[in-house]
Chain A
């Protein structure tokens, strides 16, 4: 199938590939998808004390659209508060990358990934707070 220009750009030059220390309490990790379905996304965010996402990294196993969706997402979430980041919709990603209907699930997965990373981060914060009050 033919890919759009933006998908190709992200695929050829993926942004923010890599990993953050998943044991760092300021890091949230979201891993979504399944190998059997042909795509797995791992998205990590580093959150500052002010609740702003300072850094984001990804690794993705999947088709070009899945790689592009996660690459784009890391660009978008940086500098956003958790609230703002959690409002990113899959349709925004699909629109920006001009994904065809058969590839919409890639953007859905990216939305799931940021939600999962935020949840993971928030869970860690609760655990840290409980430890301190205990």
Chain B
């Protein structure tokens, strides 16, 4: 049995450690006696050897998502992939129309890219999710216009872990002949991805959410049907002109190995992680006034997002110094605005401020979870003893009936 090592990392949705097998593969591509060549060098074996491992990694990434290796374009990460996909497709197809549909709960890499396109004269519809975090298909259908050229909907939400029905959205987009982009930064190794079956045109991936290194990602660009994008990065014409820049062999090899491991191990790993997540959930769910954010069934097993009413998230995190987690409260910004994702679900600001995101991963143990349950319960009780809102709740005061002075 492994010893309990503090602090406990429960923030795998922020990033994951690199799997030691991945790190080993990467280290073989750096030093003078390793595979350090430039994959674009055509005139010697250093280049050929590097190219060969890059293409092997491309196959590994493609294999996890049922793509053709030729459909995988290396980028610096999911943010770049989102930018390349959305701006690239919007610009290329702008002659057909300038309307884009996305969702309010998307990652900022998608939302801010859409904002930029608005400044360039595009129109963007930001769909409200249902209260469970999922896309309302009727609203999506209603939002489609004759000039809609792009739909961008994420696969797995980074905050609440809900999984969108990409296949249903893909079928709709294909029928309406609209380009469909999916931000899948959070999905590889957590849920099945089949770009063909899902009718996806463009899909963004990241390595570092799946036990690969930071600084590398990929964009799937469908060849059948052929989807075109305008390059955002110009230069030596790498990646068939879609993304210039010398390929980072070690990063790419790391992403390939990480995705290979994900494909081989995800079935067993997800079962184990689901068991740990349910253990965490059951250890907390009997407390008074706790709420689960987002649908629990359509969700990756790794994620639990809960609100502990009458306790503010940042102070809760401060009490939980033994565990590394994220909060939906943002008391560090001047606006004091809580998570925009939870607000889009229609959660009260109070509950959004009281939320914690736990994300479990490959190296989480049962002991970690049990310790987390213990310290969370202690911290919540301590802070509720300090909370005037808890007193009022206990006295039967309806907090909504009070006129608070917003500040």
Contact A62 B407 (CB under 8 A): no
Query: Which A residues are in CB contact (< 8 Å) with B310?
Result: 61
Pick the contact of B406: A11, A34, A67, A105 (CB < 8 A).
A34
Contact A64 B404 (CB under 8 A): no
Interface string of B389-407 (1 = CB under 8 A from A): 1110000000100001111
CB of B353 within 8 Å of the partner chain: yes
How distant is the Cα of A23 from the Cα of B196 in the complex, in angstroms? 70
Residues of chain B from 359 to 407 with CB closer than 8 A to chain A in the complex: 385-391, 399, 404-407
Stretch with Cβ within 8 A of B (4 or more), from A38-46, A72-80, A88-96, A122-130: A38-46
CB of B336 within 8 Å of the partner chain: yes
CB of A32 within 8 Å of the partner chain: yes
Stretch with Cβ within 8 A of A (4 or more), from B14-22, B110-118, B258-266, B325-333: B325-333
CB distance from B320 to the nearest CB of A (A): 12
CB of A6 within 8 Å of the partner chain: no
Contact B387 A59 (CB under 8 A): yes
CB of B312 within 8 Å of the partner chain: yes
Chain A residue at minimal CB-CB distance from B310: A61
Contact A59 B386 (CB under 8 A): yes
Contact B391 A59 (CB under 8 A): yes
Chain B residue at minimal CB-CB distance from A65: B331
Contact B331 A63 (CB under 8 A): yes
Pick the contact of B338: A17, A38, A62 (CB < 8 A).
A38
Query: Which A residues are in CB contact (< 8 Å) with B1?
Result: none
Query: Which A residues are in CB contact (< 8 Å) with B329?
Result: 38, 63
How distant is the Cα of A29 from the Cα of B315 in the complex, in angstroms? 24
Contact B332 A61 (CB under 8 A): no
CB distance from A30 to the nearest CB of B (A): 11
Chain B residue at minimal CB-CB distance from A100: B332
CB of B142 within 8 Å of the partner chain: no
Query: Which A residues are in CB contact (< 8 Å) with B404?
Result: 33-36, 40
With contacts A33-B404, A34-B407 taken as known, whether A62 is within 8 angstroms of B331 at the C-beta atoms is: yes
CB distance from A119 to the nearest CB of B (A): 13
Contact-size category for B = 20 to 34
Pick the contact of B405: A34, A60, A61, A102 (CB < 8 A).
A34
Chain B residue at minimal CB-CB distance from A70: B386
How distant is the Cα of A3 from the Cα of B332 in the complex, in angstroms? 12
Interface string of B330-356 (1 = CB under 8 A from A): 011110101000000000111001000
Contact B334 A102 (CB under 8 A): yes
How distant is the Cα of A38 from the Cα of B387 in the complex, in angstroms? 12
CB of B252 within 8 Å of the partner chain: no
How distant is the Cα of A40 from the Cα of B388 in the complex, in angstroms? 7
Chain B residue at minimal CB-CB distance from A39: B312
CB of A110 within 8 Å of the partner chain: no
Contact A39 B331 (CB under 8 A): yes
CB of A37 within 8 Å of the partner chain: yes
Contact A60 B387 (CB under 8 A): yes
* Known pairs A36-B353, A40-B389, A61-B388 / 10 extra A-B pairs, C-beta < 8 Å: A31-B388, A36-B406, A38-B331, A39-B331, A39-B336, A59-B386, A60-B388, A63-B315, A103-B332, A105-B407
Residues of A at the B interface (CB closer than 8 Å) are 1, 3, 11, 14, 17, 19, 31-42, 59-67, 102-103, 105, 108-109
| Interface CB pairs A-B, < 8 A, 21 | A1-B332, A17-B385, A17-B386, A19-B391, A34-B404, A35-B349, A35-B350, A35-B353, A37-B407, A38-B314, A42-B388, A59-B388, A59-B391, A61-B387, A63-B312, A63-B318, A67-B315, A67-B386, A102-B331, A102-B332, A109-B407
